[in-house]
Amino acid sequence: MNLSSLKSRKQSSTESGAFAVPLLDLTRQYAALREEMLAAIERVCASQHFILGADVEALEKELAEFTGVMSAVGCASGSDALWLALTAVGIGPGDEVITTALSFFASASAIVRTGARPVFVDVDSQSLNIDAVQVEKALRTRGLGQVRALLPVHLYGQCADMDSFQQLADEFKLSIVEDAAQAIGARWGRRNAGSMGAAAAFSFYPSKNLSAYGEAGMVTTNSPEYAEHMRRLRNHGSPRRYYHDEIGWNTRMDAIQAAVLRVKLPHVTEWNNRRRQHAAMYDRLFVDVGLASNSENSAVRLPFISAHAHHVFHQYVIRAQRRDELRRFLAGRNIGTEVYYPLPLHLQSCFSHLGYQEGDLPESEKASREVLALPMFPELTEEEQHWVVQGIAEFYG
């Protein structure tokens, strides 16, 4: 379907309210997996074993194999996964952890939960992942001090520059904890997200590439000691019932979520490939309407993909001039969008005591005013993508 014919159909359909493109539509995925999913949930209900148990153990083994690590530890959320990982590698009161300012809140709040202090560093202007050059600058400026770990975030499904971070970690004797919440199936070179640090945290929030039917998370590691420690931490610090070696947390994974995830995990690679195909289609469509550019002054900047990265497009995020106006325009045409993230972490009110000011991290601040996530999920149709890009072209036309 060419853009002119789609535009005609779009006008008539919008008037009748018959056509919409959601940011995410999980009903299509459920329709394809419904029978298998209901059978898995029924299996758990029949067992009457709802917390941890056989399905959680099986998922841990399957996820460890998928990411190429020795151990995986299921927990109640991606936020808890970050806390478990940081605590297991020894982060605690008085320590500092370097991380990005452009991420979901949990990337920083998990650091605070350990008693440590987040140190925010700016992002690379192209990938929007934490900038290794700025991290090195911060380390050399601050000296070793209390910095004990790096927490790179694989933003939008593209791995951060893990080669550079490993070099810095080796030089400064730091642990790396990957925030891989958005990056299941992503790679940096030949290494899988979740296998490149001392530990890594995944989220299975319903919007993720591998999604639960509620909250769930996982930590991966090659350290048997870290894995065993996290298993205690997720269960109130208890190695056996009613005996507590330390203060832990109640962050056990429930069996229904594990059963759901086990049904979905074999499909993740195919789903990620579809996301990559959709991203390529968006790129081509933006070329067709004359909006394909990576120039800083262009109306729309397309996502940058590193030559070292296998991007899984948890989100397809453009950078748009007059972003908020564009978003309202698209909403009027029933096109779903989202802003990830409208306020960088260093400017959040709860972190004001850290002393950051507007202008301290200019790339993060600029990105927060421009980023816009477009509809992206495996079952998205080409017609829907045409609709989205035509709407953006109309706005800037």
Q: Which two tokens stand for residue 343?
A: 């306020």
12, with CB counted inside 10 A (0-12, 13-18, 19+), is exposed
Q: Hunting for tokens 């200019």 — which residue is that?
A: 362
Domains defined for the chain, CATH in brackets: 3-31+268-396 (3.90.1150.10), 33-267 (3.40.640.10)
DSSP string, 122-181: PBPTTT-SBPHHHHHHHHHHH-STTEEEEE-B-GGG----HHHHHHHHHHHT-EEEEE-T
396 preceded by cis ω (within 30°)? no
Q: Hunting for tokens 């050059």 — which residue is that?
A: 133
Tens of each residue's pLDDT in the chain, 397 residues: 444 544 544 544 444 345 899 999 999 999 999 999 999 999 999 999 999 999 999 999 999 999 999 999 999 999 999 999 999 999 999 999 999 999 999 999 999 999 999 999 999 999 999 999 999 999 998 766 789 999 999 999 999 999 999 999 999 999 999 999 999 999 999 999 999 999 999 999 999 999 999 999 999 999 999 999 999 999 998 888 888 988 888 999 999 999 999 999 999 999 999 999 999 999 999 999 999 877 778 899 999 999 999 999 999 999 999 999 999 999 999 999 999 999 999 999 999 999 999 999 999 999 999 999 999 999 999 999 999 999 999 999 8
Q: Give the C-alpha distances (Å, rounded to integers) separating 161 from 42, 61, 128, 309.
A: 43, 27, 11, 9
Q: Quote the pLDDT of residue 105.
A: 97
Q: Quote the pLDDT of residue 144.
A: 60
Query: What is the reported pTM?
Result: 0.93
Q: Quote the pLDDT of residue 237.
A: 86
Alpha-carbon distance of 40 to 348, in angstroms, equals 41
Which run of H or of E encompasses 368? helix 362-370
The pLDDT tens digits of the residues spanning 139-182 come to 998 766 789 999 999 999 999 999 999 999 999 999 999 999 99
Q: Quote the pLDDT of residue 17.
A: 46
Q: Quote the pLDDT of residue 8.
A: 47
148, with CB counted inside 10 A (0-12, 13-18, 19+), is buried
The pLDDT tens digits of the residues spanning 339-378 come to 999 999 999 999 999 999 999 999 999 999 999 999 999 9
Q: Quote the pLDDT of residue 7.
A: 52
Alpha-carbon distance of 352 to 345, in angstroms, equals 10
Q: Quote the pLDDT of residue 143.
A: 64
DSSP string, 265-316: GGGHHHHHHHHHHHHHHHHHHHHHTT-----TTSSEEPPP--TTEE---SSE
Q: Quote the pLDDT of residue 12.
A: 41
Alpha-carbon distance of 19 to 154, in angstroms, equals 33
